[in-house]
Amino acid sequence: MKKVSFNDFSSPETMHNPIIFYKQLMAQEEAIFHLDDFYGMGGALVTLGYDDAVMILKDSRFIKDVRNFLPQKEKKEASEETTTVDKLFEWMMNMPNLLTVDPPDHTRLRRLVSKAFSPRMIENLRPRIQQITNELLDNVKEKGKMDVIADFANPLPIIVISEMLGIPTENQQQFREWTHTLMSAALDPRQVATVTNTLDQFIHYIEVLLDEKRISPCDDLMSALIQAQEQEDKLSKNELLSTIWLLFIAGHETTVNLIGNGMLALLQHPEQMKMLRDNPSLLPSAIEELLRYAGPIMIAHRFASEDVVMHGKTIKKGEMVLFSLAAANIDPRKFENPETLNITREENNHLAFGSGIHHCLGAPLARLEGEIAFGTLLQRFPNLDLAIEPEKLIYNYSKFRSLASLPVTF
């Protein structure tokens, strides 16, 4: 098998066309292969198939919380040998949240947060999301052009999740900058100072804001989590801080990239874009197909809590296993003509939101934001077109498929 490095997963070539990259990996007919290093986290086993991804997502032997079976790393003094991985590992160990823990902690945290993400609560946000969408498009309509990322895909979900959490308007862009910095710096072992400073700034800001909301609670998710902390559920201080951080990242970062990647996919498939513009009733199925075809999260990981045999290979206790959501979503054994964008696709059990107990809590919100964003954009600007050649588009250096900009004319 051709040697693959972690850089291949986030290279410009992969970001421009992940289908080609993952199709080539899958064509080598090796069900599970070894990667020497994954972003400084050490070696890992990699699997690509849909059924394997579902198994790992649902099998309780594959876990998120390394504290369940690994001794806590000894704290290092800051030195040239300290890396972003060390810093983020320390953060993960001390700041548990829904993404990094397993039952029973995961069950307790999910129960607390899920109240704000029920289908009814999310649907109640529709008028406000539509209002924000209209205002953002009003800001650019006279220009005849826009950057879909900077002018639309970025601010829309930031405003929505910030209002849900209770983050003041004047601080919302600062939150976006923190998360963008962390998502980029986390992949570079040399950026430990950047990661440290970003995390410290975030923690300090949230602690101040939490103190204010304890004195003057509001009708927002942050105030609700404070009340839960002070009642029977007993959120720890670090759980509270980390949960707020996670909700902000998960509540906007993936939606930014769903809108960006999805809009690019439609622009590159004008017949599909016209079909969706002419028939808005296709929006729900179109969102599912865009999530499958151009989903932002391409690869995820778990740790084996015990020895597990897969495809004749033993995954040893403590080993990291990577599974590709992007590859699973183009598995020809699961999807008919998987490399084709088809917004009328009926059988579409994609894994863009994961599966099992860690299935994305914010999926209803992302779907609603996507429906309103794509539907309104296509109706208001029927002559949308790319302003540059697709090969000139630049992607952020990130584990996500994340466009730095998407200039269009209309």
Comparing 9 with 263, the larger pLDDT belongs to 263
Give the confidence band of 80 by pLDDT, cuts at 50, 70, 90: very low
Digit-coded pLDDT (tens) for 240-254: 888 888 888 887 888
Tell me what pLDDT residue 229 has: 63
Instruction: Compute the distance between CA of residue 133 and CA of residue 176 in angstroms, rounded to an integer.
Output: 18
Q: Which helix (H) or strand (E) holds 337?
A: none
Altogether, the residues listed in the chain come to a count of 410
In percent, how much of the chain has pLDDT > 70? 89
- Cα gap 327→316, rounded to integer Å: 24
Q: Is the pTM of this model over 0.75?
A: yes
Does residue 157 surpass a pLDDT of 80? Answer: yes
Supply the pLDDT for residue 255: 94
pLDDT at 390: 95
Tokens read off for 305: 């809590």
Q: What is the pLDDT of residues 303-350, one digit of tens each?
A: 999 999 999 999 999 999 999 999 999 999 999 999 999 999 999 999
Would you list the domain boundaries of the chain?
Answer: 6-409
User: Which of the residue ranges 96-100, 148-152, 187-191, 325-329 would you say has the lowest mean pLDDT?
Assistant: 187-191
Residue 230, pLDDT score: 57
Q: Which residues contact 223 (CB under 8 A, 6 or more apart)?
A: 166, 213, 217
Helix (H) / strand (E) element for 400: namely none
If we measure between CA atoms, which residue out of 39, 107, 103, 105 comes closest to residue 305?
103
Cα–Cα dist 330/65, whole Å: 29
Give tens-digit pLDDT for 176-230.
788 778 776 666 666 777 878 888 898 899 999 999 999 999 989 999 888 876 5
pLDDT exceeds cutoff 70 at 69: no
- Residue environment code for 365-376, b if the CB has 16+ CB neighbours within 10 A, otherwise e: bbbbbbbbbbbb
Tens of pLDDT, residues 31-57 = 899 988 887 778 899 999 999 999 999
72 pLDDT more than 50: no
What is the pLDDT, as a whole number, of residue 119? 84
What pLDDT is recorded for position 207?
92
For residue 23, pLDDT beyond 50: yes
Residue 60: is its pLDDT beyond 90? yes
Q: Which of 375, 391, 219 is nearest to 286 (CA)?
A: 375
Domain 6-409 sits in CATH 1.10.630.10:
yes
Condensed to tens digits (0 to 9), the pLDDT of residues 166-177 reads 999 888 888 878
Average predicted confidence (pLDDT) for the chain? 88
Q: What is the mean pLDDT of residues 284-303?
A: 96
pLDDT of 75 reads: 40
What pLDDT score does 177 carry? 84
Q: What is the pLDDT of residue 279?
A: 98
- Per residue in 390-407, pLDDT (tens digit) is 999 999 877 789 999 999
**How deeply is 255 buried, as exposed, middle or buried, from its count of CB atoms within 10 A (0-12, 13-18, 19+)?**
buried
